[in-house]
Structure 1
Amino acid sequence: MSAILFIVFAGLAIGSAIAMVSQRNPLYSAISLIGVFIALASIYVTLAAPFIAAVQVIVYAGAIMVLVIFVIMLLNVEQEEPRRKRLKFLVPAAIGMAAILIGESAFILYSVQTSSGQTPRVLSDVGLTYSIGEGLFTRYLLPFEITSILLLMAIVGAMSLARRSGMLSANVRVVPGTQVLAMDIVNPRAVGDLRPVETKTTDEAAALLGVDRMRNPDE
Protein backbone atom coordinates (compact mmCIF):
# COMPACT_ATOMS: atom_id res chain seq x y z
CA MET A 1 0.00 0.00 0.00
CA SER A 2 2.82 2.42 0.86
CA ALA A 3 4.45 1.74 -2.51
CA ILE A 4 1.22 2.60 -4.33
CA LEU A 5 0.83 5.83 -2.35
CA PHE A 6 4.45 6.71 -3.06
CA ILE A 7 3.89 6.29 -6.82
CA VAL A 8 0.66 8.32 -6.70
CA PHE A 9 2.21 11.24 -4.81
CA ALA A 10 5.32 11.13 -6.99
CA GLY A 11 3.10 11.42 -10.06
CA LEU A 12 1.27 14.36 -8.51
CA ALA A 13 4.59 16.05 -7.75
CA ILE A 14 5.82 15.56 -11.32
CA GLY A 15 2.52 16.79 -12.77
CA SER A 16 2.53 19.90 -10.57
CA ALA A 17 6.16 20.59 -11.51
CA ILE A 18 5.32 20.38 -15.22
CA ALA A 19 2.36 22.72 -14.67
CA MET A 20 4.63 25.12 -12.79
CA VAL A 21 7.14 25.53 -15.65
CA SER A 22 4.48 25.58 -18.38
CA GLN A 23 2.33 28.41 -16.97
CA ARG A 24 2.76 31.90 -18.43
CA ASN A 25 1.25 33.58 -15.38
CA PRO A 26 3.77 33.56 -12.50
CA LEU A 27 0.97 33.47 -9.93
CA TYR A 28 -0.35 30.20 -11.35
CA SER A 29 3.21 28.86 -11.36
CA ALA A 30 3.51 29.66 -7.65
CA ILE A 31 0.24 27.85 -6.93
CA SER A 32 1.50 24.81 -8.87
CA LEU A 33 4.69 24.92 -6.80
CA ILE A 34 2.56 24.69 -3.66
CA GLY A 35 1.11 21.48 -5.10
CA VAL A 36 4.65 20.15 -5.57
CA PHE A 37 5.52 20.86 -1.94
CA ILE A 38 2.35 19.22 -0.63
CA ALA A 39 2.98 16.12 -2.77
CA LEU A 40 6.55 15.93 -1.45
CA ALA A 41 5.27 16.21 2.11
CA SER A 42 2.93 13.29 1.44
CA ILE A 43 5.87 11.27 0.13
CA TYR A 44 7.77 11.98 3.35
CA VAL A 45 4.80 10.68 5.33
CA THR A 46 4.87 7.42 3.36
CA LEU A 47 8.59 7.15 4.16
CA ALA A 48 7.91 7.43 7.93
CA ALA A 49 9.39 10.92 8.25
CA PRO A 50 6.55 12.96 9.79
CA PHE A 51 8.74 15.78 11.06
CA ILE A 52 10.22 16.48 7.62
CA ALA A 53 6.70 16.36 6.17
CA ALA A 54 5.46 18.91 8.72
CA VAL A 55 8.43 21.20 8.03
CA GLN A 56 7.79 20.87 4.30
CA VAL A 57 4.21 22.06 4.71
CA ILE A 58 4.84 24.76 7.33
CA VAL A 59 8.03 26.28 5.92
CA TYR A 60 7.91 25.70 2.17
CA ALA A 61 4.20 25.38 1.30
CA GLY A 62 3.34 27.91 4.00
CA ALA A 63 5.80 30.67 4.81
CA ILE A 64 8.06 30.68 1.75
CA MET A 65 5.23 30.38 -0.78
CA VAL A 66 3.32 33.17 0.95
CA LEU A 67 6.45 35.30 0.57
CA VAL A 68 6.79 34.33 -3.11
CA ILE A 69 3.15 35.15 -3.88
CA PHE A 70 3.44 38.42 -1.93
CA VAL A 71 6.49 39.45 -3.97
CA ILE A 72 4.77 38.53 -7.25
CA MET A 73 1.73 40.64 -6.35
CA LEU A 74 3.88 43.47 -4.99
CA LEU A 75 5.99 43.67 -8.15
CA ASN A 76 2.82 43.49 -10.28
CA VAL A 77 4.31 40.85 -12.56
CA GLU A 78 2.11 40.49 -15.60
CA GLN A 79 1.47 37.48 -17.77
CA GLU A 80 4.33 36.60 -20.06
CA GLU A 81 3.81 37.68 -23.63
CA PRO A 82 4.00 34.94 -26.28
CA ARG A 83 7.34 34.92 -28.04
CA ARG A 84 8.28 33.77 -31.46
CA LYS A 85 9.89 30.38 -31.54
CA ARG A 86 13.34 31.20 -32.82
CA LEU A 87 15.14 28.23 -31.30
CA LYS A 88 13.06 25.39 -32.64
CA PHE A 89 16.15 23.26 -33.10
CA LEU A 90 16.54 23.06 -29.32
CA VAL A 91 13.32 21.07 -28.91
CA PRO A 92 14.78 17.78 -30.26
CA ALA A 93 17.93 18.36 -28.22
CA ALA A 94 15.85 18.82 -25.05
CA ILE A 95 13.88 15.65 -25.78
CA GLY A 96 17.12 13.74 -26.34
CA MET A 97 18.63 15.01 -23.07
CA ALA A 98 15.47 14.04 -21.18
CA ALA A 99 15.61 10.54 -22.68
CA ILE A 100 19.27 10.22 -21.66
CA LEU A 101 18.50 11.29 -18.08
CA ILE A 102 15.61 8.84 -17.83
CA GLY A 103 17.81 6.05 -19.17
CA GLU A 104 20.59 6.85 -16.70
CA SER A 105 18.13 6.88 -13.81
CA ALA A 106 16.70 3.51 -14.83
CA PHE A 107 20.20 2.06 -15.20
CA ILE A 108 21.20 3.24 -11.72
CA LEU A 109 18.02 1.90 -10.14
CA TYR A 110 18.41 -1.58 -11.62
CA SER A 111 22.20 -1.93 -11.47
CA VAL A 112 23.10 -0.70 -7.98
CA GLN A 113 23.08 -3.50 -5.44
CA THR A 114 22.08 -2.66 -1.87
CA SER A 115 22.92 -4.58 1.26
CA SER A 116 20.81 -4.96 4.38
CA GLY A 117 23.54 -4.15 6.97
CA GLN A 118 22.89 -0.77 8.62
CA THR A 119 20.02 0.25 6.31
CA PRO A 120 17.06 -0.48 8.67
CA ARG A 121 18.65 1.30 11.62
CA VAL A 122 19.64 4.33 9.54
CA LEU A 123 16.19 4.60 7.99
CA SER A 124 14.56 4.45 11.40
CA ASP A 125 16.48 7.59 12.44
CA VAL A 126 15.46 9.61 9.39
CA GLY A 127 12.83 12.23 10.17
CA LEU A 128 13.38 12.29 13.94
CA THR A 129 13.83 15.68 15.57
CA TYR A 130 16.87 14.54 17.53
CA SER A 131 18.83 13.35 14.50
CA ILE A 132 17.88 16.42 12.44
CA GLY A 133 18.76 18.87 15.21
CA GLU A 134 22.06 17.14 15.92
CA GLY A 135 23.01 17.26 12.25
CA LEU A 136 22.02 20.90 11.73
CA PHE A 137 23.87 22.28 14.75
CA THR A 138 26.97 20.10 14.64
CA ARG A 139 28.05 18.76 11.26
CA TYR A 140 25.99 21.04 9.01
CA LEU A 141 26.11 24.23 11.09
CA LEU A 142 28.00 26.26 8.46
CA PRO A 143 25.67 25.37 5.54
CA PHE A 144 22.70 26.09 7.81
CA GLU A 145 23.96 29.60 8.59
CA ILE A 146 24.85 30.26 4.94
CA THR A 147 21.32 29.29 3.93
CA SER A 148 19.85 31.73 6.46
CA ILE A 149 22.06 34.51 5.06
CA LEU A 150 20.91 33.70 1.52
CA LEU A 151 17.26 33.90 2.61
CA LEU A 152 17.92 37.27 4.24
CA MET A 153 19.57 38.54 1.05
CA ALA A 154 16.56 37.37 -0.98
CA ILE A 155 14.17 39.28 1.29
CA VAL A 156 16.26 42.46 1.10
CA GLY A 157 16.51 42.14 -2.69
CA ALA A 158 12.75 41.73 -3.02
CA MET A 159 12.18 44.83 -0.92
CA SER A 160 14.66 46.80 -3.03
CA LEU A 161 12.96 45.74 -6.27
CA ALA A 162 9.52 46.59 -4.90
CA ARG A 163 10.53 50.07 -3.81
CA ARG A 164 9.26 52.77 -6.14
CA SER A 165 9.98 56.42 -5.67
CA GLY A 166 7.11 57.61 -7.86
CA MET A 167 7.49 61.28 -6.87
CA LEU A 168 9.52 63.83 -8.84
CA SER A 169 11.89 66.33 -7.29
CA ALA A 170 10.86 69.93 -6.71
CA ASN A 171 13.21 71.38 -9.37
CA VAL A 172 12.17 69.04 -12.16
CA ARG A 173 11.91 70.46 -15.67
CA VAL A 174 8.56 69.73 -17.36
CA VAL A 175 8.32 69.82 -21.16
CA PRO A 176 4.90 70.97 -22.47
CA GLY A 177 3.05 68.52 -24.69
CA THR A 178 4.73 65.40 -23.30
CA GLN A 179 2.79 62.58 -21.70
CA VAL A 180 3.09 62.06 -17.97
CA LEU A 181 1.92 58.83 -16.38
CA ALA A 182 -0.50 59.19 -13.52
CA MET A 183 1.78 56.89 -11.49
CA ASP A 184 4.29 59.78 -11.38
CA ILE A 185 1.82 62.29 -9.97
CA VAL A 186 0.15 60.29 -7.23
CA ASN A 187 1.30 58.70 -4.04
CA PRO A 188 2.84 55.30 -4.96
CA ARG A 189 1.32 53.80 -1.83
CA ALA A 190 -2.17 54.66 -3.06
CA VAL A 191 -1.96 54.25 -6.82
CA GLY A 192 -5.22 55.08 -8.54
CA ASP A 193 -5.78 55.85 -12.20
CA LEU A 194 -2.74 54.86 -14.27
CA ARG A 195 -3.96 56.25 -17.59
CA PRO A 196 -1.55 58.65 -19.33
CA VAL A 197 -2.48 62.34 -19.32
CA GLU A 198 -1.32 64.89 -21.87
CA THR A 199 -0.44 68.45 -20.93
CA LYS A 200 -0.54 71.47 -23.22
CA THR A 201 1.35 74.01 -21.16
CA THR A 202 4.16 73.98 -18.64
CA ASP A 203 1.96 75.48 -15.93
CA GLU A 204 -0.65 72.75 -16.39
CA ALA A 205 1.95 69.99 -16.20
CA ALA A 206 3.58 71.54 -13.14
CA ALA A 207 0.20 71.79 -11.43
CA LEU A 208 -0.51 68.13 -12.10
CA LEU A 209 2.90 67.14 -10.78
CA GLY A 210 2.57 69.28 -7.69
CA VAL A 211 5.92 71.04 -8.23
CA ASP A 212 6.93 74.64 -8.73
CA ARG A 213 7.88 75.47 -12.29
CA MET A 214 11.24 77.14 -12.77
CA ARG A 215 10.45 80.43 -14.54
CA ASN A 216 12.90 82.18 -16.82
CA PRO A 217 13.88 85.76 -15.92
CA ASP A 218 12.53 87.00 -19.29
CA GLU A 219 8.96 85.84 -18.55
Structure 2
Amino acid sequence: MTVTPDLLLEAYRAGVFPMAEHRDDPDLFWVDPRRRGVFPLDRFHISRSLAKTLRRDAYRVTRNTAFAEVIDACADRSETWINHDIRVLYEELHRRGDAHSLEVWMGDRLVGGVYGVTVGAAFCGESMFSRERDASKIALAWLVDLLRRTGFVLFDTQFLTNHLASLGAVEITRTDYRTQLARALTLSADFNGEPLAASGQDVVQRNTQTS
Protein backbone atom coordinates (compact mmCIF):
# COMPACT_ATOMS: atom_id res chain seq x y z
CA MET A 1 0.00 0.00 0.00
CA THR A 2 1.31 3.42 -0.95
CA VAL A 3 1.19 5.84 1.96
CA THR A 4 0.04 9.28 0.85
CA PRO A 5 -0.28 12.45 2.94
CA ASP A 6 -4.07 12.05 2.95
CA LEU A 7 -3.80 8.44 4.14
CA LEU A 8 -1.36 9.56 6.82
CA LEU A 9 -3.83 12.10 8.18
CA GLU A 10 -6.59 9.49 8.18
CA ALA A 11 -4.30 7.23 10.18
CA TYR A 12 -3.76 9.93 12.80
CA ARG A 13 -7.51 10.49 13.02
CA ALA A 14 -7.88 6.76 13.66
CA GLY A 15 -5.20 6.82 16.36
CA VAL A 16 -2.33 5.11 14.53
CA PHE A 17 0.97 6.38 13.16
CA PRO A 18 3.76 5.04 10.91
CA MET A 19 7.31 3.98 11.69
CA ALA A 20 10.15 2.24 9.87
CA GLU A 21 12.44 -0.39 11.35
CA HIS A 22 15.48 1.76 10.57
CA ARG A 23 16.57 4.64 8.33
CA ASP A 24 17.35 2.36 5.36
CA ASP A 25 14.18 0.29 5.61
CA PRO A 26 12.06 0.94 2.48
CA ASP A 27 8.84 -0.09 4.24
CA LEU A 28 6.56 1.49 6.84
CA PHE A 29 4.36 -0.19 9.42
CA TRP A 30 1.45 1.16 11.44
CA VAL A 31 1.68 1.47 15.22
CA ASP A 32 -1.30 1.43 17.60
CA PRO A 33 0.14 1.26 21.13
CA ARG A 34 -1.83 -0.46 23.87
CA ARG A 35 -0.51 2.22 26.25
CA ARG A 36 -0.21 5.78 24.98
CA GLY A 37 1.88 8.67 26.20
CA VAL A 38 0.16 12.05 26.51
CA PHE A 39 0.96 15.43 28.05
CA PRO A 40 -1.94 16.81 30.09
CA LEU A 41 -1.63 20.42 28.96
CA ASP A 42 -2.48 21.82 32.38
CA ARG A 43 0.12 19.72 34.19
CA PHE A 44 3.40 20.38 32.42
CA HIS A 45 6.09 20.24 35.10
CA ILE A 46 8.69 22.98 35.11
CA SER A 47 11.37 22.24 37.68
CA ARG A 48 13.25 25.01 39.45
CA SER A 49 16.32 24.40 37.30
CA LEU A 50 14.28 24.45 34.08
CA ALA A 51 12.47 27.62 35.21
CA LYS A 52 15.84 29.25 35.77
CA THR A 53 16.98 28.20 32.29
CA LEU A 54 13.77 29.48 30.70
CA ARG A 55 13.98 32.84 32.48
CA ARG A 56 17.58 33.31 31.41
CA ASP A 57 16.45 33.52 27.75
CA ALA A 58 19.90 32.56 26.46
CA TYR A 59 18.20 31.18 23.36
CA ARG A 60 15.49 32.06 20.89
CA VAL A 61 12.50 30.02 19.77
CA THR A 62 10.94 29.97 16.31
CA ARG A 63 7.98 28.24 14.75
CA ASN A 64 7.95 26.45 11.36
CA THR A 65 11.25 28.07 10.41
CA ALA A 66 13.42 24.97 9.95
CA PHE A 67 11.05 22.01 9.65
CA ALA A 68 13.31 19.87 7.43
CA GLU A 69 16.30 20.60 9.63
CA VAL A 70 14.38 19.50 12.73
CA ILE A 71 13.46 16.17 11.11
CA ASP A 72 17.05 15.64 10.03
CA ALA A 73 18.30 16.40 13.54
CA CYS A 74 15.76 14.01 15.05
CA ALA A 75 17.00 11.28 12.68
CA ASP A 76 20.66 12.03 13.37
CA ARG A 77 21.25 9.22 15.83
CA SER A 78 22.60 5.68 15.70
CA GLU A 79 19.12 4.14 15.46
CA THR A 80 16.09 5.90 14.01
CA TRP A 81 12.66 4.99 12.67
CA ILE A 82 12.71 8.02 10.35
CA ASN A 83 13.41 6.75 6.83
CA HIS A 84 13.35 8.55 3.49
CA ASP A 85 9.61 8.03 2.91
CA ILE A 86 8.70 9.35 6.35
CA ARG A 87 10.82 12.44 5.78
CA VAL A 88 9.15 13.11 2.41
CA LEU A 89 5.63 12.51 3.75
CA TYR A 90 6.01 14.83 6.72
CA GLU A 91 7.60 17.56 4.67
CA GLU A 92 4.57 17.42 2.39
CA LEU A 93 2.26 17.62 5.41
CA HIS A 94 4.26 20.64 6.55
CA ARG A 95 3.82 22.33 3.16
CA ARG A 96 0.09 21.70 3.45
CA GLY A 97 -0.06 23.17 6.96
CA ASP A 98 -0.73 19.87 8.75
CA ALA A 99 2.70 19.36 10.33
CA HIS A 100 4.65 21.86 12.37
CA SER A 101 7.94 22.39 14.13
CA LEU A 102 9.24 24.45 17.01
CA GLU A 103 12.94 25.30 16.95
CA VAL A 104 15.39 26.37 19.67
CA TRP A 105 18.45 28.38 18.62
CA MET A 106 21.57 29.60 20.32
CA GLY A 107 22.91 32.29 18.07
CA ASP A 108 22.56 30.92 14.55
CA ARG A 109 22.89 27.29 15.67
CA LEU A 110 19.87 24.99 15.84
CA VAL A 111 20.23 23.25 19.20
CA GLY A 112 16.82 21.74 19.86
CA GLY A 113 13.38 21.22 18.43
CA VAL A 114 10.23 19.17 18.14
CA TYR A 115 7.82 18.41 15.30
CA GLY A 116 4.39 16.84 14.98
CA VAL A 117 1.10 16.58 13.13
CA THR A 118 -2.13 18.41 13.92
CA VAL A 119 -5.60 16.93 13.47
CA GLY A 120 -8.52 18.86 14.91
CA ALA A 121 -7.42 20.06 18.33
CA ALA A 122 -4.82 17.30 18.77
CA PHE A 123 -1.09 17.78 18.40
CA CYS A 124 0.55 14.44 17.68
CA GLY A 125 4.18 14.79 18.62
CA GLU A 126 6.56 12.82 16.44
CA SER A 127 10.09 13.40 17.63
CA MET A 128 12.41 15.89 19.29
CA PHE A 129 16.13 16.44 19.66
CA SER A 130 18.62 18.30 21.82
CA ARG A 131 22.17 19.37 21.06
CA GLU A 132 22.60 21.47 24.20
CA ARG A 133 21.57 20.90 27.80
CA ASP A 134 17.80 21.33 28.30
CA ALA A 135 17.18 22.35 24.66
CA SER A 136 14.43 19.77 24.15
CA LYS A 137 12.86 20.75 27.50
CA ILE A 138 12.84 24.38 26.38
CA ALA A 139 11.15 23.35 23.12
CA LEU A 140 8.48 21.35 24.97
CA ALA A 141 7.80 24.12 27.48
CA TRP A 142 7.28 26.67 24.73
CA LEU A 143 5.23 24.17 22.72
CA VAL A 144 2.88 23.39 25.60
CA ASP A 145 2.44 27.12 26.22
CA LEU A 146 1.55 27.62 22.55
CA LEU A 147 -0.82 24.64 22.39
CA ARG A 148 -2.75 25.91 25.40
CA ARG A 149 -3.22 29.33 23.85
CA THR A 150 -4.22 28.11 20.37
CA GLY A 151 -7.07 25.79 21.33
CA PHE A 152 -5.45 22.36 21.54
CA VAL A 153 -6.84 19.87 24.05
CA LEU A 154 -4.64 16.82 23.37
CA PHE A 155 -0.86 16.52 23.16
CA ASP A 156 -0.01 12.97 22.07
CA THR A 157 3.57 11.81 22.72
CA GLN A 158 2.96 8.28 21.35
CA PHE A 159 5.11 6.58 23.99
CA LEU A 160 6.07 7.50 27.55
CA THR A 161 9.78 7.87 28.32
CA ASN A 162 11.44 8.75 31.60
CA HIS A 163 12.38 12.10 30.09
CA LEU A 164 8.78 12.91 29.19
CA ALA A 165 7.45 11.58 32.51
CA SER A 166 9.77 13.95 34.38
CA LEU A 167 8.01 16.82 32.60
CA GLY A 168 4.49 15.64 33.44
CA ALA A 169 3.61 13.21 30.65
CA VAL A 170 1.51 10.21 31.63
CA GLU A 171 0.51 6.90 30.13
CA ILE A 172 -3.12 6.08 29.35
CA THR A 173 -4.91 3.12 27.79
CA ARG A 174 -5.64 2.86 24.10
CA THR A 175 -9.35 3.21 24.90
CA ASP A 176 -8.80 6.38 26.92
CA TYR A 177 -6.60 7.81 24.19
CA ARG A 178 -9.22 7.20 21.53
CA THR A 179 -11.84 8.86 23.71
CA GLN A 180 -9.64 11.94 24.07
CA LEU A 181 -8.80 11.89 20.36
CA ALA A 182 -12.47 11.63 19.36
CA ARG A 183 -13.21 14.75 21.41
CA ALA A 184 -10.24 16.61 19.95
CA LEU A 185 -11.41 15.81 16.43
CA THR A 186 -14.70 17.61 17.07
CA LEU A 187 -12.81 20.80 17.90
CA SER A 188 -10.57 23.13 15.93
CA ALA A 189 -7.24 24.65 16.85
CA ASP A 190 -4.75 26.81 14.98
CA PHE A 191 -1.05 26.19 15.61
CA ASN A 192 -0.30 29.57 14.01
CA GLY A 193 -3.19 31.36 15.69
CA GLU A 194 -1.21 33.15 18.40
CA PRO A 195 2.29 34.64 18.63
CA LEU A 196 4.95 32.66 20.41
CA ALA A 197 5.60 33.63 24.00
CA ALA A 198 7.43 36.92 24.39
CA SER A 199 9.95 35.39 26.80
CA GLY A 200 10.77 32.34 28.86
CA GLN A 201 9.49 34.25 31.89
CA ASP A 202 6.04 34.38 30.25
CA VAL A 203 6.14 30.61 29.68
CA VAL A 204 7.01 29.97 33.32
CA GLN A 205 4.43 32.43 34.64
CA ARG A 206 1.55 31.09 32.56
CA ASN A 207 2.45 27.49 33.44
CA THR A 208 2.49 28.39 37.15
CA GLN A 209 -0.91 30.04 36.89
CA THR A 210 -2.58 27.02 35.27
CA SER A 211 -0.76 24.07 36.86
Q: Specify the TM-score bucket, using the shorter chain as the normaliser.
A: under 0.3
Q: Report the structure number with the largest CA radius of gyration.
A: 1
- Which protein is richer in helix relative to its size? 1
Select the structure that is richer in strand. 2
- Structure with larger RCO (C-alpha < 8 A, sep 6+): 2
TM-score, length-scaled by structure 2: 0.24
